[in-house]
Amino acid sequence: MSDAAPVPPEVVYRWDLDKTYLATDFSTARGLLQAAVESAQRRRTIPGMRALLSALWHGRDARLVVVSGSPTWLRRRILTMFSLHGIRCDRLVLKDFGGAVRKGRFRSISSQVPYKLRAHLDTRLWLAARHEDVAEICFGDDAEVDALIYCLYADVCARRVDAARLARILDLSGAYPDEIATILERVGQVQVHDPVRRVFIHLEGGSPPARFGAYRGRVTPTFNALQIALHLATEGLADDRVLSAVAEELVREHGVGAEGLAGTIEDALRRGLCAIALAQSVVVDLLPRTAAFDAGFSPAFAARVSHRLPDAAVPPLSQGEPLTLPYETLFEAEKAFAKARKLALQTAGKIPGLAEFLGETER
Amino acid sequence: MASDRKTTVVFDTYGGTGGPGEIVRAAARLSRQGVAQVVLVGEVVYLQDQLGLLPYDPMTLRLVPAPVAYPRRPGDTLAQAEAAELALPIAMEMLAEGEADALVTASPPELVRDLADRHLGRLPGCAAVAAAAVVPTMPRQGKDEPLGLLLDVSGRRTTDAESLVQFAVLGATYARVVTKTPQPSVALLSTGQGAHDGPPEVVAAHERLTSLASVRFVGNLRATDLSRGFADVVVTDGLVGHNVLGLLEGLTEMTVEAARYAWKTKVTWRLGLRLLAQGVGMLRKVSEFTTYGGAPLLGLDRLVLVANPDSKEAAFANAIKLAARCRAADLHGQLTTAMAPFATGGQP
């Protein structure tokens, strides 16, 4: 055994699970039951996400940290699923619903901010203990408050949010006093450093992209895995291999056609997620050489799409110096959005077509 | 037979009096249902700004740039026509090139027809193109919806019997495919119900339609019978059809205005309207031209749906669904088969 210190990884991927990686449906009793009993083999992933995570994980020396609101008794099944996907999950944090019920802490069951923030800080400390103080790329979705939690995590690590304010925010989000004390203690142990390089929010719950404008450019809303891959490739954090893998999965396993791929790339370009040179190269050189060709992405189709790309291009988004966020206001806004959404979903059954519009049925 | 891939519907977003907002909302909504691939042709920066405020799915919604149109006030018809000339040719070309299966536009119908003549071909054997319109009728037994198809409403004179006969075949085929009526009834609009009533071309068309096996011809209708729902398809000269449609739209508007006046004028009338609210709502739903979605230009080798310029989100969404339904039912193939006898010069 060597005495040399472990080599730090190049990057840490921090993922949420449900509605970010897994296509879980919590809006119906059937969906909930399915999530509880489904085997690791049968778990459905969000189109393209399996290929994305696998290609990212295999491409560089990376660590995978998963913090999920799923119950602890799903641990073995989730780890088996990742192993079936050829990915090693370095840290998996799940919610202890049983413990919360036993202690009579019913607020903990529904509140996400204290639970996830503490889990992120704990895993950060675990990484630091292994000299792995490296950059992190975070992945969440719009169904919960992932955007707020990831930004708060970054601000807390960088001490852009002081202890008094953090305590107020946690109190607002329904944390118990001892939870607040534990989180503040963890913050004191974390090295002052902003590890978060990018936060991706997968728009699974039917939010408009403009909803995340309030996060002042610190959050990147994406419609699918290909848009994440395009943005990472624009920032030099992914290569053609990742892009091809995602496109292949979308085409082969989810029946996405040439129009769908082109629409995704054009949208990424219009929203500043992707550089024009990269979009041109993906359209002209890459996709016609993948399974996309069989789905109609012929060189002729690529030429037509490529011809129109310059009209869609806007300068790519740059993260710049992070601005602190009005978390108290954001939290209230997120709560109001979730309430409106819940109300709309309850009404959805009574209004034909509303459920589909809200994206709560299979497309 | 139509393939498994989704129907691609291209929109010209400069058409319509309400601006692109209504079209964008309809396209965003349907993009999440995956009904069709929608392509919006217009000012991309503006369209993207609008889309950013809505949930949508870029996999089924694409934007194609058109030259930027000057800002315009709703209802500015001259500026609207100018703007339509910027986007519609691009959309029409995409349709002609096979990049789209159907075109939906609320641009001025004359412009749509002129561009269709320039960019698109006709079905084999087709002598003229007919603009169809969906018109409200009285409910009748055996009919799911109290609606009929009136064609031609293009405003162009139709002076030959051959064209009228072809319109009857096209209209009957379209009605059969879209409304799933196995044998739609077809009538000619004329001055009287007799076989010899009306101008010479109508008399001649009547004679030919009587002996035509492929069409269930039920004779002539007078204008007063049009709304009674005696026929599923009513064929007429383009100029007459255009004026009939205008008259019906005007009547609908007048009725709404009269109800508004009654509401404001007397408390007892208001009370009466309240009691009738459900019935008035149903009547309005049926007679509201802006909710129908779109009516086809029949005789072209591609599907073009012309929507009412005042169409709202629901109408544009219906137009997308209609286009998808037409492709799924292979409307083009059915129309080609129906028109084949005209192409070979035989008796249909």
Q: What percent of chain B has pLDDT over 70?
A: 87
Is residue A271 less than 8 Å (CB to CB) from chain B?
Answer: yes
What was the pLDDT predicted at B24?
A: 95
CB contact under 8 A, A223 and B29: no
**Among all residues of chain A, which has the CA nearest to that of B99?**
A301
- In chain A, what percentage of residues exceed pLDDT 70? 90
Looking at the predicted structure, is the pLDDT value of residue A360 above 60?
A: no
Q: Is the separation of the CB atoms in A71 and A95 below 8 Å?
A: yes
Q: Is the pLDDT confidence value at B166 over 70?
A: yes
Q: Which residues in chain A have their CB less than 8 angstroms from residue B29's CB?
A: 357
Contacts of A264 in chain B (CB under 8 A): 58-59
Chain A environment of B60 (Cβ under 8 Å): 259-260, 263
- Give A138's strand partners: A14, A199
Beta strands A11-15 and A62-71: pairing type?
Answer: parallel
Indicate the burial class of A298 (C-beta count within 10 angstroms; 0-12, 13-18, 19 or more).
Answer: middle
pLDDT of residue A311: 82
B60/A270 Cβ within 8 A = no
The pLDDT tens digits for A137-176 are 999 999 889 999 999 999 999 999 999 999 999 999 999 9
Closest to A256 measured CA to CA, from A51, A54, A30, A11? A51
User: Given this model, what pLDDT does residue A358 score?
Assistant: 47
Query: Which of A203, A263, A311 lies nearest to residue B60, judging by beta carbons?
Result: A263
Confidence class for position B136, pLDDT limits 50, 70, 90: confident
- A315 interfacial to chain B (CB closer than 8 Å): no
Structural domains of chain A, with CATH: 9-222 (3.40.50.1000), 238-318 (no CATH)
Better-scored residue on pLDDT, B252 or B46: B46
Quick check: A257 and B44 CB within 8 A?
Answer: no
Residues B51, B13: contact at Cβ < 8 Å?
no
Q: List CB contacts (< 8 A) between A317 and chain B.
A: none
- pLDDT winner (highest mean) among A118-122, A216-220, A316-320, B125-129: A118-122
Instruction: Pick the closest to residue A223 from A288, A270, A283, A282 (CA basis).
Output: A270
Does the beta-carbon distance from B64 to A308 stay under 8 Å?
A: yes
Are the beta carbons of A210 and B5 separated by less than 8 Å?
A: no
Identify all chain A residues contacting B32, using CB atoms and an 8 Å cutoff.
Answer: 206, 356-357, 359, 363
**B54 to chain A, closest Cα gap in Å:** 5
- What pLDDT was estimated at residue A120? 97
Contact residues, chain A, for B53 at CB < 8 Å: 208, 210
Which DSSP letter does residue A41 get? Answer: T
In the sheet that A62-71 helps form, which strands lie side by side, from edge to edge? Answer: A91-95, A62-71, A11-15, A136-141, A196-202, A219-222
For residues A246 and A51, the answer to whether their CB atoms sit within 8 Å is: yes
Q: Is the model's pLDDT at B273 over the cut of 90?
A: no
Averaged pLDDT for residues B176-203? 88
What contacts A277, CB < 8 A, 6 or more positions away?
none
Min distance B65 CA to chain A CA atoms (Å): 7
The residues spanned by each domain of chain B are 1-126+299-348, 127-290
Query: Would the CA dihedral through A48, A270, A144, A189 be positive or negative?
Result: positive
Residues of A in contact with B55 (CB under 8 A): 203, 206-208, 357-359
> What pLDDT does residue B80 have?
64
At B284 the pLDDT is 64
**How would CATH label the architecture of B1-126+299-348?**
3-Layer(aba) Sandwich (3.40)
The pLDDT mean for chain A works out to: 88
Evaluated on CA atoms A70, A74, A76, A80, the torsion sign reads negative
For A265, the token pair is 């790339």
Average pLDDT, chain B: 85
CA distance A68 to A84: 19
Quote the minimal CA–CA distance from A28 to chain B in Å: 19
Q: How many inter-chain contacts (A to B, CB under 8 Å) are there? A: 73
pLDDT digits (tens, 9 = 90+) for B312-330: 888 899 889 889 989 999 9
Residue A20 has pLDDT above 90, yes or no: yes
Using alpha carbons, select from B22, B15, B17 the residue that is nearest to residue B42: B15
pLDDT value, residue B2: 43
Q: What is the pLDDT at residue B288?
A: 61
Nearest CB to A267: which of B8, B32, B58?
A: B58
pLDDT of residue B1: 41
Tokens representing residue A264 in the block: 């995704």
Q: Do B63 and A266 touch (CB under 8 A)?
A: yes
Which of residues A99 and B303 earns the better pLDDT score? B303
**Is the ipTM, as predicted for this complex, more than 0.95?**
no
Most B CBs within 10 Å: which of A270, A274, A294, as the mutation test of the B interface? A270
Q: What percent of chain A has pLDDT over 90?
A: 65
For residue B105, list its beta bridge partners.
Answer: B12, B306
The Cα A301–Cα A261 span in angstroms is 11
Provide, as residue numbers in chain A, all residues whose Cβ is less than 8 Å from the Cβ of B52.
Answer: 208-210, 271
Pairing of strands B61-65, B102-105: unpaired
**How far does CA B309 lie from the centroid of its chain?**
11
Residue B62: pLDDT band (50, 70, 90) is very high
Compute the radius of gyration of chain B from its Cα atoms.
21
Judge whether residue A346 has pLDDT over 50.
yes
Q: Is A317 helix (H, G, I), strand (E, B) or coil?
A: coil
> pLDDT tens digits for A282-337?
999 999 999 999 999 999 999 999 998 988 888 777 666 777 899 999 999 988 88
Strand partners, A222: A202
DSSP B231: -
Query: Which residue from A260, A296, A311 is facing B65, i.e. has the nearest CB?
Result: A311
DSSP-derived letter for residue A283 is I
Mean per-residue pLDDT, B217-235:
88
pLDDT grade, residue A14 (50/70/90)? very high
Q: Which residues pair with A219 in a beta bridge?
A: A199
- When scoring B57, B60, B64, B101 by the number of chain A Cβ atoms within 10 A, the one with the most, hence best to mutate, is B57
Contacts of B58 in chain A (CB under 8 A): 223-224, 227, 263-264, 266-268
Q: Whose CA is closest to A337, among A142, A168, A153?
A: A142
- Chosen from B59, B93, B94, B99 to mutate, greatest number of chain A CBs within 10 A: B59
pLDDT in tens, B87-118: 899 999 999 999 999 999 998 888 899 999 99
For chain A positions 157-216, those within 8 Å of chain B (CB to CB) are 203, 206-210
Q: How far does the CA of residue A299 sit from the closest CA of chain B (Å)?
A: 14
Judging contacts by C-beta atoms under 8 Å, the chain B residues touching residue A251 are: none
What is the reported pLDDT for A361?
40
Residue among A23, A16, A14, A93 at smallest CA distance from A56: A14
Please name the amino acid found at residue B247.
L
Q: Which residues of B touch A (CB under 8 A)?
A: 5-6, 8, 29, 32-34, 37, 44, 48, 52-65, 99
pLDDT confidence of residue A4: 53
Which residues does chain B have within 8 Å of residue A358's beta carbon, measured at their own beta carbons?
Answer: 55
pLDDT attached to residue A1 = 42
Kindly tell me the burial class for residue A30, based on how many C-beta atoms sit within 10 Å of its own C-beta (0-12, 13-18, 19 or more).
exposed
Q: Same fold for the domain at B1-126+299-348 and the one at B127-290?
A: no
Reported as a single tens digit per residue, the pLDDT across A58-87 is: 988 899 999 999 899 899 999 999 999 999
Widest pairwise Cα distance in chain A? 66
CATH of B127-290, one of 3.20.20.70, 3.90.226.10, 3.40.718.10, 3.30.530.20: 3.40.718.10
For A222-261, give the secondary structure using H, E and C.
ECCHHHHHHHHHHCCCCCHHHHHHHHHHHHHHHCCCHHHH
